[in-house]
Structure 1
Amino acid sequence: MSELNIAVIGLPGKWSTEVLADAVHVKTGRRTVVDMADVCLDLDTRQVRVGDINLSEFDAVIVKKISETYSPSTLDRLEILRILEAQGVQVFSGAENILRLINRLSCTVTLRNHDIPMPPTTITESIDEAVDAVKAYGETVFKPLYSTKARGMCVIKDNDNDAVLREEIEHFKAEHQVMYIQKKLSLPGKDLGMVFLGGEYLGTYARVAQSDSWNTTINSGGKYEAYTPSDEIIELATRAQEPFNMDFTTVDVAESEIGPIVFEVSAFGGFRGAKEGIGIDTAKRYVDYVLEKLEATA
């Protein structure tokens, strides 16, 4: 297996990218980190290059992070990876599988089509419909279709002042044509990251709020802790991730006043939460998994 050439697509210098590249190096003796911003696709030769490195000649690439923030251009980067797949380079997770998770709406539609419980949600481009949704829900979270770690999200509540409410919604819509509006539920100050490798459940960490922030993300001061969910929640998270066929992912789950709900399935999954929260070296586990897959198809 030491002769295999495996690249890590991620953000050079970022912790998760570097620990994954280190794990690849331990197993193969080689270490290649690729930032998609530096990639060039030549459709005539069908080469995907980074300088003098031809990714089309690699055995596999592992996608840890496709961009710093999500946007429609992130989808374009994934399309380039489809060229590699067509040439026989194995991509973990598959480009089309990741594509279905980058857009929040695409993920939500798939989850609801599989009857996965989620917070009450309204999708609309209409200001009037958005006003009605806020009035119906009482308190809402407006979410961009492309974002991670709660970036760009805002809380809008019914304050009995229609003019102020409409102004808040119009401010959000100025940046986001399609409005994703979710009822803000009462949560116990934490939500769960449930880790899956090849569809197998590995464990759960909790993101626990340390302040009065409405969300528990690490960007907002949340901390990782170990957590043992019920069998019911494990079964729910397992069902939630199955339609996406991801090689590695985490499922964001919360225990709300209406029961366990799923917020989303991650396009890439969190290494740090698993490491700090439950002591799982997901980078090493992931590389072992990739090597097993490559050996099985050799």
Structure 2
Amino acid sequence: MDCGQPGERRGACVPRRHATVRRRAGRRPRATRLGAPRIATTARGGRDMKPLRIGFLVSSRYAQSTSHVPPVMRALAEAGVVVDVIHPVTRALELSQVRAECDLYVLKKMSRLSLSLAGALHTRGAVIVNPYPVTVALRDKIVTAKILESAGVPTPTAYVAAHPQELAPLLDGGPLIVKPYQGSDGVGVRVVRSVAQLASVRDGRDPVFAQRYHQPEGRDRKIYVVGSQLFGVKKVFPARTDEERRGEPFTPSPELRDIALRCGRAFGIDFFGVDIIESKGMPYVVDMCSIPGCGGVPDAPRHLASYLLEAAERAARRPQGWRVA
């Protein structure tokens, strides 16, 4: 894993402008591999204790990130956590060297490489936020739609086809919204109202995923669940300005809270985001994310750091030899 040269501090691959994390990350010999030896530190009272260690699987564009991740890392480092920033490798990585040495891993950016590395870590018993099988399921909108529908979550009627033209007969019942089945951030999403518009949808090897389109009333309701806390942010879709991307915090109604928590129970997780629209007085969950950015949530870095710290503490208390199923 490309995290500096042997002898440097673990976390030395943190960009220069995030020097706080780099200074507080703790010393680690031979920091170029996931399997680097762990170092015990002496806690108060004279007992030898291992510091909590959290690894962030990030994208190659991490240095330009404007997300909450850098301040979250700083908060964790200030709490005494050893923070490992794991970039995509720039040279070949011997898979036999991949070992789960962190108490917790955070899959922040879902590139194909980072997802595969998360899978490799999963086979070695790593605890990952969110668990690898759940992340894979939520990456696939077809699987996600079926799981939510089976759990009784109100969702638009969903369809899957091998080719866009196979959706044409469904337009007799109203417009559809077509989405890349493994898409994110709203990229490639389009409302289709006619056969002519359907013809412009790319026909490739991937399956075609569509939902019945319901005209939203007002802004989308983004619900973020972070452990036992739940936050609501109203956002415009698609967002065009920084203000629209930040959105407006709001207090979700009991109905929206129940819907969001039902989504989490369907996948067995307590850290996620759901997109809900309201149309003709009815709420519909139109998307769910296993890596919520929590944009617009007041004091989000503190909430996220607290959640990850508690998750790492739980993981560190696992019996020796415990493995993820």
What interval of TM-score do these two structures reach, taking the shorter chain for normalisation? 0.7 to 0.9
Distance 2:301 2:72 in 1: 13
Counterparts of 1:246 and 1:65, CA distance in 2:
18
CA contact (8 A) 2:273 2:291 kept: yes
Aligned residue for 2:193? 157
Task: Report the secondary structure of 2:100's partner residue.
Answer: helix
**Aligned sequence identity (%):** 19
The DSSP-based 3-state class of the residue aligned with 1:292 is helix
Query: How many Å apart are 1:29 and its aligned residue?
Result: 4.7
Alignment map for 1:19-38 (pairs within 5 Å) = 19-36=71-88, 38=90
Q: Does 1:248 align with 2:271?
A: yes
Residues 2-151 of structure 1: pairs in structure 2 closer than 5 A: 3-11=51-59, 12-13=62-63, 14=65, 15-36=67-88, 38=90, 41-43=93-95, 45=96, 47-48=97-98, 56-67=100-111, 74=112, 77-137=114-174, 139-151=175-187
Pick closer, same or farther for the CA change 1:177–1:9 going to 2, 3 Å. closer
CA root-mean-square deviation: 2.7
- State the 1:289 CA deviation: 2.3
Asked if structure 2 preserves the Cα contact closer than 8 Å seen for 1:192 and 1:252, the reply is yes
Which residue type is aligned with residue 275 of structure 1?
P
Indicate the structure with greater helix content.
1
- Alpha-carbon spacing, 1:223–1:84, altered in 2? closer, same or farther (3 Å): closer
Is 1:182 the counterpart of 2:211 in the alignment? Answer: yes
Corresponding position of 2:315: 294
**1:121/1:296 CA distance change after superposition, 3 Å:** same
Which residue pairs with 1:71 in the alignment?
Answer: none
Q: Which amino acid aligns with 2:288?
A: V
The alignment of Structure 1 onto Structure 2 pairs a total of residues equal to: 266
Structure 2 CA distance for partners of 1:64 and 1:247, relative to 1, 3 Å: farther
Residue identity matched to 2:51: E
SS at match of 2:274: strand
Map residues 185-224 of structure 1 onto 2, 5 A cutoff: 185-198=214-227, 200-207=228-235, 209=236, 215-217=237-239, 221-224=244-247
Letter in 2 for 1:203: F
State the 1:190 CA deviation.
Answer: 0.8
Q: Deviations over 1:147-190 (max 9, x none)?
A: 112101122213xxxxxx24x32331324642212222121221
TM-score (norm 1): 0.78
Query: Given residue 21 of structure 1, which amino acid in structure 2 is its aligned partner?
Result: M
Change in Cα spacing, 1:224 to 1:295, as seen in structure 2 (3 Å) is same
Listed as ranges, the gaps of 5+ residues in structure 1 are 49-54, 68-73, 159-164, 210-214
Aligned residue in 2 for 1:263 = 286
Which SS does the other structure have where 1:150 is aligned?
Answer: coil
Relative to structure 1, is the Cα distance of residues 217 and 245 closer, same or farther in structure 2, using a 3 angstrom cutoff? farther
Per-residue CA distance 1:184-241 (angstroms, 9 max, x = gap): 212122112212234x34221211x3xxxxx244679444111122211111111112
**Stretch of structure 1 that moved more, 259-268 or 189-198:** 189-198
